[in-house]
Structure 1
């Protein structure tokens, strides 16, 4: 077959040619029906293309998103830590320097007090009480991100993450924590994105925070004057066509990185694809009624054979598209016209890209889980090493106040080691078996605190309870402190032998209760005055606050009872709001008992 005949064959197979030939025998309404069907297919294809553009834009800024979330978390943690060191500026400065030295991603860290004095920093101090940014932060204490082209401490252009410090009890403004990211890093991360798109990080007001073009060359983004609040992007973002200063049009994508705060603006190298539909000929000539009926039947059969069956199949595949399992969504058409075949091919390529991205995301998730388990494993080993060093020190310290203090420190370190062991040995990383974790922690506390030879009865019972790590960690540390206090102030009642009882159970509404109860009376062991520093009580109050729970104390002539109640989190809750986890077993599950 020569080139001329090949071109003729392709021309005949095109949708335009076939419809013109067939509809010349039919009437206009049948042609309009085909147009309507085609437009519906193109509309679905455009929607899929928009989802693909948003996904690629968000993926290109994935590293930047992780870095910003890390900066937010670091600023929050440093602010809390600095509040504990308000009386020791040297220790506070050392903490900030250690943080900056431990990570190449950050160039500065510091905390300003409520008076605007930036004295706890990784280098130098400064009074910022009269600066506009500080006055605005005092007026509206909320997390924010800003740009400083000449960082006063690092001497380079930086992105500054600011986290206000609020007293959880009084809601008073206590100061603010600052963490700086050099533009040399953030801009480089954006440059590593997709080749055919320029990226920029902007805040809710449209201010450019970082760009793949470099922070010194952001004029193209500033001239666009894109304000996210005016576009109101959905959770997965929005796309729109924007005109540049030279009159050319570009496809822009706006994707939230941190909700209501930070967005990534992608400026693609080409404009939005324009889809057009062929106009089908003119109405058929007026013919006798018989010929009109015959032509109608022929046109319906021809369109159904060449167009509608392909469009129906393609539409059915698109309607049944599932992001969880897109492998069954490929459109396989039987000898379709060239135009419909191109649409189906474009759709299939999009499904291919989604499958590849999904497989890559699964692999990345698996690698991150392995890395997190390894981190927990190493932390557990380091904590056990610290506990062993403390144990060696205990052998050289005679019995007394110092010996008891070291023993309590060692117990706390071993509790932390037990927690990290539970985190990396569990079958899943999103939840922890709190009942098994507490059983180990409580038993260790009994072994350390309960004196031998006193005929003391200890018990631990618990429902089968799954908790997220953010709750399991403070709960285990809280149990250790409560049991330690119970053993310290344990008394021998007049009606029987001394007893310590620990219970954890769950009630309706997914309310979790931890109860530690001990007898009172004649002291079982001597409590030296200097051991009562109040540290244990402050730790208990802090852990209860972390759990978002409540503490209830009950004391009788023979028993002292402490009950902590809180609502458990779901594994997918990142904001820390308490809610029910439907994956938990019924509260009436059989409890596990252990006695020492």
Structure 2
């Protein structure tokens, strides 16, 4: 029952898992959208700040004299604090003035040749490492003009520090969101968590032309959500990073709760159901099973557990079983008494038959003493032996506890012991040996088989050994589950082939052979006779009886 209840949990798990996956996917997408919105907002802020710097550069470009760089830097940084250096150069790129205090060197920034008009000629450089400021910068440049001729006389430069610019932007954003710039080679500037970004991410972002969301492991071995956005017209990328939601965040537990909550509720219901079933049904069903087993074994008076505390249906069932067991017990007692009476009557019948046969045998013995003809006395002696055999069979049967079936080893052991004594086999030096498999046979079949064995052994003792001193008769009764095989072998001199042929052709008129054939037909078997193969001597008689009303008993 619990197994099928557990199986019913599978659809719940599948639906909850699907819902959790969809929610996790939605949460991941929402997280990316939030970072994209934040990147748009921050990028606009960066653009505005750079525009402010360009406006100030346009304002002061013509006024930067060789001794004015420091003063203009102080003035500009009041509005745009991320400007790190103010400098001016002539048309040959020789530095005339620098807020860093050094002049006379050649600027690394090469501007295109000026063309009229000159008032809107403003340029942005790529990222370079400022040797004087010792940091990554990009340079805003603008041609300076002669106030009289309006011709360009040189160039003015504002160096924008990436780190100060990112700090200025970060102060306006969320606490867990960080920003940086990356050049085309993947070098990240202005972010303490990353030194570089995989150029494959940059190529994918540039090919798609829009911001992309990735996950990267930072220098602190933590996982971050990273948004990469290309800057239009620049070989730069704007980077937005935020820590991936942790174990105790809503983004993590939200999807999991879709699985845990229904599963927990189901498990609690399952446990409660199991406890209720165990206390109300299974425990009492186990007691009912014990009761049924006891009744099946014939213990009809067995009471077992008191069912007064059981549910009404189970209590009524237990009462019904007890009532049924009581009635069956009464009928069983009556049946046993009737069987005992019948067995006693049959045993008494066997006993009386045995006694009557003994009386008849005594009469024949008395009568044979008055007969002078030797042949007639021999015939009376044969009749007496057969009457003795019948008496032995009935004597064995009435002492056996079971009347309808006969245990063959027990039955033949008793029979052959009595027969050996009655025939005086030991006095004649003849040993009778036997081996019988363990199986039962109906009494109606056991009697003709016993009479057949008596007839065979009697004939063997009378005729097999002749002048020979002693001998041996072996009886083997085997059973293979499908048929019984009786084999009797004596160690006598054997018989002639003519005698065997007369038996096989049905021409032999001896009463003993005729009785053996009659018993074999009654058993439905096939009686076979043959001499023992040389160098041994003797006669082998074999009877194969098909499996009819037998059952094998495992000893």
TM-score, normalising length: structure 2: 0.40
* Structure index of larger Rg: 2
TM-score, normalising length: structure 1: 0.38
